[in-house]
Structure 1
């Protein structure tokens, strides 16, 4: 799973800390450390690939089933009005590992176009409280 260098592989393997909301045999999903809005989740395949075209075709459907579940959990668990779901291929990837952003959204939240201002959590406890709410929403949906 881990190539020894990739931060996302290390989080997925449990070798690096992360506020994980979902981990199974397909993917890991965890809070972005520089969220657009608090509760911003990254969903990454366990297979280390850089871009969506690099992901083997049989893994695309299972990955996006998890993205779908995380999007629903972010809305439900955080009482968000909706979500913004996106991914970048190479350009704008701060980590060269395929990752899908699931960002909680609310009307008039200030997000405009493709400019993604970033925020921070006050501390690890605040981040964990967001992760817990999303995990609980995922658990209640299963």
Structure 2
């Protein structure tokens, strides 16, 4: 797992490779600071990941290092939901292995298009 939170790309990071265009992804939106793309293992009809282009290992590290970029990511989750015409949706940041984080680059899941139960799994 990559623990770097400096914002620099990591050679072993799947999402850094997507940002660099080295690995293909189905892009939904892109801004100067973020990229949004469809999850390859969707958990709902709409499942989009919004990531900062800068590498931070998880949401906590991102928030501590760059509050403005954290806000950009959150704004983009709303923009994705609007673009995807979701009336309601869930935004999820998994932080740490125990919470289900499997890619060590901060990312928000935008999940919708079906009824979502509470509490989540």
Counterpart residue number, 2:47: 40
Q: Residue 114 of structure 1: CA displacement?
A: 1.5
Q: Which has the larger radius of gyration?
A: 1
Q: Which runs of 5+ in 1 are unaligned?
A: 116-142
CA distance 1:24–1:77, change in 2 (3 Å): closer
Pairing of 1:123-134 with structure 2 (within 5 A):
none
- 1:135 matched to which residue of 2? none
Segments of 5+ residues of structure 2 without an aligned counterpart are: 1-7
Would you say how many aligned residue pairs link Structure 1 and Structure 2? 112
- SS at 2:67 equivalent: helix
Q: Is 1:25 matched with 2:51?
A: no
Task: Compute the RMSD of aligned alpha carbons.
Answer: 2.3
C-alpha deviation, 1:112, in angstroms: 4.2
User: Which one is further off, 94-103 or 53-62?
Assistant: 53-62
Relative to the length of structure 2, the TM-score reads 0.75
Farther-moved stretch of structure 1 (88-97 vs 54-63)? 54-63
- Residues 13 and 105 (structure 1), Cα distance of their counterparts in 2 relative to 1, 3 Å cut: same
Tell me if the contact between 2:62 and 2:70 (Cα under 8 Å) persists in the aligned partners: no
CA distance in 1, matches of 2:68, 2:111: 20
